Chains A and B, each alone.
Chain A
């Protein structure tokens, strides 16, 4: 809906200012719901990959349990998203924002991969906290208000509830 486009762009601009680590470039969203779907799915896949890295490197039981929860939860959410989009006959549309997220995540994984022990655990958990804060702000202030399909919007609301639980969990471990 055209009337929601300025709000979406304004929210992304605010996020770019406040979360330099996860700066998302402003891009038009001509695909609307399907571009948002691709971004949301990509964000989940990114966190799953961070978690696999943590399982490969961390020896801290609490960090490993957190990572396993990230894999379990983000996989379930992405599977639910795929099921819904399949039922709707819709296809997510790749876009500059989702590509930029992937590039930034790749750089972050390279950075984390060079760390070991407590240094890795601290960096991983702090990244998880920052990442979930960024994602939650984006979903709540930009995506949910902009999405037109009611069922997709309900899915995002349910996902947001999970992501906020993750943020709380990460805050406990980030120190």
Chain B
């Protein structure tokens, strides 16, 4: 299995919240693309946290959320983004692969 490649962190340009910063600071969460699903299904995620997506499937996926689409992620590759508001998740290559990210 390929190990992680240099991580690309994408900012939701012009949309980063300047509101109240949680006392504990932003958290980085690892999320998995596996079995054509976005996992875990539920997670305590707050605006300002970051997500690190890793693809565990045999075929490439990409992640679309908050109007941003990741580059193609081969098996073992990772991609990170800053969370603002969450919402629907999808893979542009596999239309039946959908999820939802609930943000506190």
Contacts and interface: CB of A to CB of B under 8 A. Distances in A.
Interface of A: 65, 68-69, 72-73, 76-77, 80, 155, 158-159, 161-162, 165, 168-169, 172
Contacts of A161: 35-36, 57-58
Question: Taking chain A's interface residues, is the majority helix, strand, or loop, or is none over half, making it mixed?
Answer: helix
26 contacts: A65-B92, A65-B93, A68-B93, A69-B93, A72-B59, A72-B60, A73-B59, A73-B93, A76-B59, A76-B74, A76-B75, A77-B59, A80-B58, A80-B75, A158-B57, A161-B57, A162-B36, A162-B59, A165-B36, A165-B94, A165-B96, A168-B95, A168-B96, A169-B95, A169-B96, A172-B95
B72 interface: yes
B36 A73 contact: no
Chain B contact patch, size range = 10 to 19
B60 A76 contact: yes
A80 B59 CA distance: 9
B97 interface: yes
Contacts of B72: 72
